[in-house]
Structure 1
Amino acid sequence: MLRQYELVERVKEYDPDADEAMLNRAYVYTVQKHGTQTRASGDPYFSHPVEVAGLMTDLKLDQETIATALLHDTVEDTLATIDDIEVNFGGDVARLVDGVTKLSKIEQMPENERAAENLRKFLLAMSEDIRVLLVKLGDRLHNMRTLHFIKKPEKRERIARETMDIYAPLAERVGMYEYMREMQLLAFEQLEPEAFATITKRLEQLRDKGGGQVDAIALKIKQALAEAGLSVEVSGREKHPYSIWKKMAERHVSFEQVTDIMAFRVICESEADCYNVMGLLHRTWQFLPGRFKDYISTPKNNGYRSLHTSLMYENSMRVEVQIRTREMHQLNEFGLSAHWSYKQGDRPDGQVGWLRDLIEIVDASHDPEELLEHTRMAIYQDRIFAFTPKGALFQLPKGSTAVDFAFAVHTDIGDQTVGAKINGRHIPLRTQLQNGDVVEIIKGKNAVPQMSWLSFVVTGKAKAAIRRAVRLKERGEIVAMGQKLFDQIINQVPAKIGKKAMREALKRLEMEDDDDLYFAIGASDISDRDVMEALVPGCTEAMPERPEWSKTGKRLSIRGLTPGVGFTLADCCHPVPGDKIVGTRRSGEKVEVHAVDCHALASGIDSDWIDLSWGRQSAGAVGRIRVTLYDRPGTLAEATGIFAQNNANVRELERAQYDPPFQSYDANLEVKDLAHLNRIVSALRASDAIASAERI
């Protein structure tokens, strides 16, 4: 553990003007407040904030951040308050400590909700000052280094999982790759102990067998570059076990089949030297097509800049090489924290672009599961680059579509999207973007996000915004329906309903306003009798119970529809019971039911999508098939005979095509369900009179 004078000296080395007295006070304050508290390791508790402060000095962060690291647990774990911190250390430190402190312990909530709530508050605090994140990452890294002292395996696993899912990705997003790699490695050891032990052992065996192979390759690369007059530093390392395990899982290969276990880094004097080095390496050793990435001309969102390439070294050994300048290397390893060094006059705005997206996700997410899902999407995915027509650059996850791009530019643009052009050509909104695409979003004044977009968007921001818009629209429609039903209900009440009666009814039902009541009625969350009883207590005592009518015969029932909403079966795909179905809805019209693989859906329908399924009593619908017959007497009669033998009533039959020696007919058949329709198609295909039969 760092002693008091050692910590202060570290800060003074890079910031001679630091407030030594304030740092001393913060050190003494945390020692006194934590007193006799101990950690799972048996060490004094104050050793933890002191070590976190030491990590912050490694990053050369300012004195307020060092003080925050020392004090970050005092409010949560001692009798100290934020007011005490402000009085003793100033408003800036108090604000940072408040941001890092876990603001509430919701012990009764389920684990996922507790994690989501803490994440929500943390993201909001982080948005005000990125230093909150830097201290939190240092806090988590030190906790991971001492995780093995915790006795309960389930607690170790929970902390490791949270680190892998939230904190390591956050470290990557702000460019702190050293923190990210160590967190992943320590979490991997806890979450996959057998895999960790196996890969570690294999690496040791490889190391013993190779006998300094990494150093030998690094020397060979350096000699090849020196002969060309390039002065560089070359270092090499084995990839850590988690990185290897991840590649094994992604590529479905064994350890022996992972060929790029070794990675090398070339540090150059200038940006021009980086490109010269890359060219020389590609001329000296064969490079692997598709594995070259230029993050110098097009940096990552977190500011990361480097050239990446993979080479086929001697004996068909594949190695990865990263090429960068010294300045790039410093920024790459420590990311945003490097900008917060005391030397930097122009500190970055804490509201960096991706962080703004996270805050919008916090506001849009409906429940804890959504929040965690969308946040993980936003902070940990491989990226592509796309441009607006004016040349503004946006980074998006691989697989992103024009809709993802629209929401990345601005939520309002995403909400108003009706179409898009990629590189000047109109394209379907579900089209995936490629690196370098120029994307123009076409907007409509009355446009709203469509439920169908959720089937192809990949960014957390887009998913959260679409779900929020759909929920608001659905609520408005249900409220309107509920209001109509309410008007029918009050006609059955033996009294005139005024404003006072309405206020009293809302109190009895524990609802805030009229819209809450209308929504409950429209969504069938409350019965007519309960509403009537709330309006006029005692009025339903003499009323008979209303019978429930079951659906019989061939009546179709659809699950997932709002009560009172009608539906029709789409003519484009003729869904029958047994098909997977969705509904499309336009304002003021009935829901149209489609099979999920309907071509009309794939080409885009300007309406909302609703998840639907068939009810238990559903039986009987019209299926459509195309039958291609040999053009000779009796073949049509044989086809209609097969319909009759299989108890299928022909509703419509028309010739679709005549192409000697064949003629094709489209038939609409009344069938019980999908299995019934499939039996008819199979029987047709078995006939010698029929060339082909298929559902259309």
Structure 2
Amino acid sequence: MNGKFEFSTEERDETLNILNKLKSEIGHLLVPGDEEKLHEIIMRSLCQNELSRNSFGHNPILLCFQTALIAVEEIGLRRDAVIAILLNPGVQGGFLSLDDVRGMFGDSVAGILHGLKRIAELYSKNPVVESENFRNLLLSFAEDMRVILIMIADRVNLMRQIRDAENGGVKRNVSEEAAYLYAPLAHKLGLYKLKSELEDLSLKYLEHDAYYLIKDKLNATKKSRDAYIAGFIGPIEEKLTAAGLKFHMKGRTKSIHSIWQKMKKQKCGFEGIYDLFAIRIILDSPVEKEKMQCWQAYSIVTDMYMPNPKRLRDWLSVPKSNGYESLHITVLGPDNKWVEVQIRTDRMDEIAEKGVAAHWRYKGVKSETGLDEWLANIRSILEHNGDNLQVMDQFKMDLYEDEVYVFSPKGDLFKFPKGATVLDFAYHIHSKVGNSCTGARISGKIVSLREQLRSGDQVEIVTSAVQKPKQEWLNIVKTSRAKSKIRLALKETQVKEGLFAKEMIERKFRNRKIELDESAMTRMVKKLGFRETSEFYRHVSDGTLDINTVVDKYLEILQRDSNQGDVPVSADGYTLQNEVLPQGMDDVLVIDRNLKGIDYQLARCCQPIYGDSIFGFVTVSGGIKVHREDCPNAAELRKRFGYRIVRAKWSGKGSSLYSITLRVVGNDDIGIVNNLTSIISKDEKLTLRSISIDSDDGLFRGNLVVMLDDTSRLENLLKKLRMVKGVKLVERI
């Protein structure tokens, strides 16, 4: 370690200030001896110089205190979580064991630290959550809800602290991850304030110009906006007071991120966004009168201003699965401007601000949130799904969904994401019900299993003993739970069909006294047009492919081998036959763990060739597109789909020919084109595929499409072309 770790004066003062705030908030919850033990551990780590600053130069102790304060004040966590946060540097540094923590502070603190340690081990490999470690990250989250909440608090703190950081690459990675993982998690857990802050800060660091454009516009219109809000709420306050209600009101401007999303969605400027703010009426109401007083306030507001019935959201009667309760209405205010009004009580408001953690303060009062079921669902998906990318897509899909509420025939209430179908409902009841579902009866009417659920529906599933899960069902269902169960059922069916078909083929071969050769069998499957053996067996099993056709094709291949004197070889020789490769390609693309035989293609947008720095992008179909690191689309792919990026490199030698396009600009002189083409034609390892030339004002601009084998030959070609008299620019595009 370089030099002794020391606090600056400012860091020491801020740490002591936060410590006093923490003691005033949770001091009464500490067990005797907690404070002394914590002080001793922190001082020991300082004295033994066991700590170091992070990549942004931040003090780890101060960061922990800042995170702990966010966890307490803005989320509502208490003693165990705070102690775990403050001990985390010691556990991560290896000078404090989990057994020591368990002995001094209990199993709960040690359990939280275990989850945090697993996550830190993932981040030591790479600061961005990639597909390969996303599964482990979710498993760590799913072990204890507080691990998720602490990680959200930690990310909010880090995003606040890196405002002036110079480490641009890491700052971008941290911001992208905050946007695509932590903000949706905060949303799911009801931490709407922190979710908005993460989104706004991510936008600020990733799209600086857009952020400040909206911020400046909001500042410029603040005075008129405040005046409008005051004029809007004044009459409402008078009516609510006259009705004897205790309340307070506040106006809230929508987040910069949400305004930016609206601008992009509606394809308009800032001035085209009208619902820039919302009014919140927060009632001081006893629990038994909450609903009555909220609807009373609703009646008063809608008597004064015309409501939009399509924009009524009733989360009083049936709260969201994260516990959110509120009435949302949109009314037409003065100057014909639409204004959103939210009506809730103090208790509901605290749950809306602090999310799931606030329920612990109100045990017994609608404290069941459905989040335990959600986490159990994550665990189930992780156990039964082998594809990390599918897990991530399903997980993200579940985070931001609106909800519909439907009933079983017995009157039980179920919540589903908007767009869920009858088939989702069937799989929610039981896997066997889902696997045999043919439709449903809703309000006495028979509907198909594709029918989308609507709030208030009473759903009775119709089943059939002969029904089986189908591949296309994956496109019908909306919930990750149903998708996971369908994939599991399809795998089981595939295995059964494969065994049955294989047994049929082997029996037929034995009856006709034909010896089975695996390599010939593999080639025969490809010749019949099947990419996967499992697909071939499925067609044999369901009778789509006649078994006699299989035998005839197999004998035809054996006959051809015999005529050509071929010697049968191992099936290993055919592992790459299903690749989508350029003709003549014999280079091996090694992706991550030296995997070969991967279905990949070279991206047309950047035309990578052997020797280029490359990365892989996993497409929706499961194949991999290989892009250059400097591809014009690389930044957008990393930003929006960072979890689909895989590392890639070339292996072997560049003996295949790749197509590249060169842009040439030069003086429009006689013979210059001949000079360019002659350079290419003289090199036997180069092939000119096409040339297009435009001439304008004494300059010519042209594109040359050339076939070559690697970047070294490309560099030599560029040097030669740039030396041609009259050529001003030669570049690869």
Shorter-chain TM range is 0.5 to 0.7
The question of whether the paired residues in 2 share the 8 Å contact of 1:8 and 1:24 is answered with no
1:327 aligns to what SS in structure 2?
helix
Match of 2:38 in 1: 26
1:194 to 198, 206, 209: 209
| C-alpha distance 348-274 of structure 1, shift in aligned 2 (>3 A) | closer
1:359 to 379, 383, 386: 379
Determine if the alignment matches structure 1 residue 181 to structure 2 residue 203: no
More helix by share: 2
1:285 is aligned with what amino acid? Y
Q: How far did residue 160 of structure 1 move? A: 2.0
Determine if the alignment matches structure 1 residue 70 to structure 2 residue 82: no
Range 234-243 or range 55-64, more displaced: 55-64
1:458 aligns to what SS in structure 2?
coil
Structure 1, unpaired ranges of 5+: 496-517, 531-545, 552-556, 567-583, 593-696
TM-score, with length taken from structure 2: 0.64
The question of whether the paired residues in 2 share the 8 Å contact of 1:306 and 1:323 is answered with yes
Rounded Cα–Cα distance in structure 2 between residues aligned with 1:301 and 1:586: 46
Rounded Cα–Cα distance in structure 1 between residues aligned with 2:458 and 2:363: 38
1:363 aligns to what SS in structure 2?
helix
Q: How far did residue 428 of structure 1 move? A: 0.7
The residue correspondences of 1:628-643 to structure 2 (distance < 5 A) are none
Which whole-Å deviations, capped at 9, do the CAs of 1:410-439 have from their partners, x for residues lacking one? 444333423222223210111111111111
Rounded Cα–Cα distance in structure 1 between residues aligned with 2:87 and 2:485: 37
Rounded Cα–Cα distance in structure 2 between residues aligned with 1:368 and 1:206: 46
Q: How far did residue 188 of structure 1 move? A: 2.0
Determine if the alignment matches structure 1 residue 253 to structure 2 residue 253: no
Q: How far did residue 479 of structure 1 move? A: 4.0
Q: How far did residue 267 of structure 1 move? A: 0.9
2:97 is aligned with what amino acid? T
The question of whether the paired residues in 2 share the 8 Å contact of 1:269 and 1:326 is answered with yes
Match of 1:646 in 2: none
Determine if the alignment matches structure 1 residue 83 to structure 2 residue 99: yes
The question of whether the paired residues in 2 share the 8 Å contact of 1:304 and 1:332 is answered with yes
Q: Percent identity?
A: 28
Match of 1:404 in 2: 424
Range 28-37 or range 457-466, more displaced: 28-37
Determine if the alignment matches structure 1 residue 169 to structure 2 residue 184: yes
Rounded Cα–Cα distance in structure 2 between residues aligned with 1:343 and 1:387: 26
Which whole-Å deviations, capped at 9, do the CAs of 1:498-544 have from their partners, x for residues lacking one? xxxxxxxxxxxxxxxxxxxx9xx9xxxx62599xxxxxxxxxxxxxx
1:179 is aligned with what amino acid? L
Range 188-197 or range 35-44, more displaced: 35-44
2:330 aligns to what SS in structure 1?
strand
Range 141-150 or range 360-369, more displaced: 141-150
| C-alpha distance 231-466 of structure 1, shift in aligned 2 (>3 A) | same
Match of 1:96 in 2: 112
Match of 1:668 in 2: none
1:391 to 406, 411, 414: 411
| C-alpha distance 24-378 of structure 1, shift in aligned 2 (>3 A) | farther
The question of whether the paired residues in 2 share the 8 Å contact of 1:170 and 1:379 is answered with yes
1:65 aligns to what SS in structure 2?
helix
Match of 1:130 in 2: 145
Match of 1:589 in 2: 543
Range 172-181 or range 3-12, more displaced: 3-12
The question of whether the paired residues in 2 share the 8 Å contact of 1:176 and 1:335 is answered with yes
2:233 to 183, 199, 218: 218
2:388 is aligned with what amino acid? P
Q: How far did residue 21 of structure 1 move? A: 2.3
| C-alpha distance 360-292 of structure 1, shift in aligned 2 (>3 A) | same
| C-alpha distance 103-200 of structure 1, shift in aligned 2 (>3 A) | closer
Match of 2:722 in 1: none
Determine if the alignment matches structure 1 residue 45 to structure 2 residue 60: yes
Q: How far did residue 378 of structure 1 move? A: 1.6
| C-alpha distance 457-109 of structure 1, shift in aligned 2 (>3 A) | farther
The question of whether the paired residues in 1 share the 8 Å contact of 2:45 and 2:90 is answered with yes
The question of whether the paired residues in 2 share the 8 Å contact of 1:85 and 1:94 is answered with yes
The question of whether the paired residues in 2 share the 8 Å contact of 1:401 and 1:457 is answered with yes
2:443 is aligned with what amino acid? N
Structure 2, unpaired ranges of 5+: 1-10, 547-733
Count of residues paired in the alignment: 526
Which whole-Å deviations, capped at 9, do the CAs of 1:308-362 have from their partners, x for residues lacking one? 0111111111111100111111112112111234988998699612222222222
| C-alpha distance 75-482 of structure 1, shift in aligned 2 (>3 A) | farther
Q: How far did residue 447 of structure 1 move? A: 4.5
Match of 1:632 in 2: none
Match of 1:371 in 2: 391
2:543 is aligned with what amino acid? E
2:404 aligns to what SS in structure 1?
strand
1:311 to 322, 327, 331: 331
The question of whether the paired residues in 1 share the 8 Å contact of 2:127 and 2:170 is answered with no
Rounded Cα–Cα distance in structure 2 between residues aligned with 1:460 and 1:564: 25
1:298 is aligned with what amino acid? V
Match of 2:251 in 1: 236
Rounded Cα–Cα distance in structure 1 between residues aligned with 2:365 and 2:31: 18
The question of whether the paired residues in 1 share the 8 Å contact of 2:249 and 2:279 is answered with yes
Match of 2:438 in 1: 418
1:466 is aligned with what amino acid? I
